[in-house]
Amino acid sequence: MNIIKTDNRQQLYEQAATLIAAQIIAKPDSVIGFATGSTPEGIYQNLVERYKNNFLDFSAITSFNLDEYYGLAGSHPQSYRYYMQEKLFGQVNINAEKIHIPDGSRKDAGAACQDYEKQMAQAGGIDFQLLGIGRNGHIGFNEPAEFFPGDTHLVDLTEDTLQANQRFFASREEMPTQALSMGIKSIMKARKIVLVAFGEDKREAIEGMVNGPITPQLPASVLQLHPDVTIIYCPV
Ligand code: F6R
């Protein structure tokens, strides 16, 4: 694992955006896995600036997002599709037909997950996967469990995650309790992984991921087994 510590969040955004930009410049038709949440927001802003300054061309990339709330239509302001459209996709020249996000509005969650795995395989797999990490060590919505989930699947969100994310919803009742998420196998198949995190409340999860035992109780610890992982962590 390659670990980069930054002094401030701006540096984190800059460094992560540089790695994504380098990937797209080296391979314009890269398949990129994107994450949502508060951590990547500044990274996406940085990428948008690079695009507006003509340093970056998204036209040939294919994208796959890690996860989506189950039961929310893509038009819901708290859906991850909406987030991606607002923060990145709507502001750059990505081809809309090459955007993939698990379909949380589809009744048959199992079929939605199977189709998602097929689409990733058809695209040739993910070249570069951006990840955040939950306070409990989750990646995507792979929550602490007795085993590592494999493929894209329907997840029951844990109390910790519900608490962490309810700030985005008007009320707790409005917040979905389930999500569709790439599994650990889907994530580990990515050729390159960059995980970003900031804040004191992520310190324990980062420490466990890097130095602790590999255990599904801290899902991110599985990344110790991946050959190309960069972690960018800003403690403040
Ligand atoms: C989001 C995702 C989650 C977040 C994690 C950290 O697509 O997969 O695993 O990366 O919950 O979220 P923030 O960045 O809001 O702390």
Q: What is the pLDDT of residue 167?
A: 87
Closest C-alpha to ligand 1, atom 8 = 140
pLDDT digits (tens, 9 = 90+) for 156-198: 998 988 988 888 888 888 899 999 999 999 999 999 999 999 9
Provide the 3-class DSSP secondary structure of residue 209: helix
CB of 66 shorter than 6 A to ligand 1: yes
Q: Which is catalytic among the residues 46, 65, 136, 142?
A: 136
Q: What is the pLDDT of residue 155?
A: 94
Per-run averaged pLDDT (10 residues), the chain, 236 residues: 98 98 98 97 98 98 97 92 98 98 96 98 98 96 95 93 88 92 98 98 98 98 98 98
Does residue 100 carry a catalytic annotation? no
Is the whole model's pTM more than 0.85, yes or no? yes
Supply the DSSP string of 164-220, one letter for each residue.
HHGGGSSSGGGS-SEEEE--HHHHHTSSEEEEEEESGGGHHHHHHHHHS---TTSGG
Of the candidates 65, 221, 34, 234, the residue with the CA atom closest to the CA atom of residue 144: 221
Q: Which residues pair with 25 in a beta bridge?
A: none
Q: What is the pLDDT of residue 32?
A: 98
Ligand 1 midpoint to CA 164 (Å) = 10
Ligand 1 midpoint to CA 49 (Å) = 23
Structure tokens at 193: 């992984």
CB of 68 shorter than 6 A to ligand 1: no
Containing 100, the helix (H) or strand (E) segment is strand 99-100
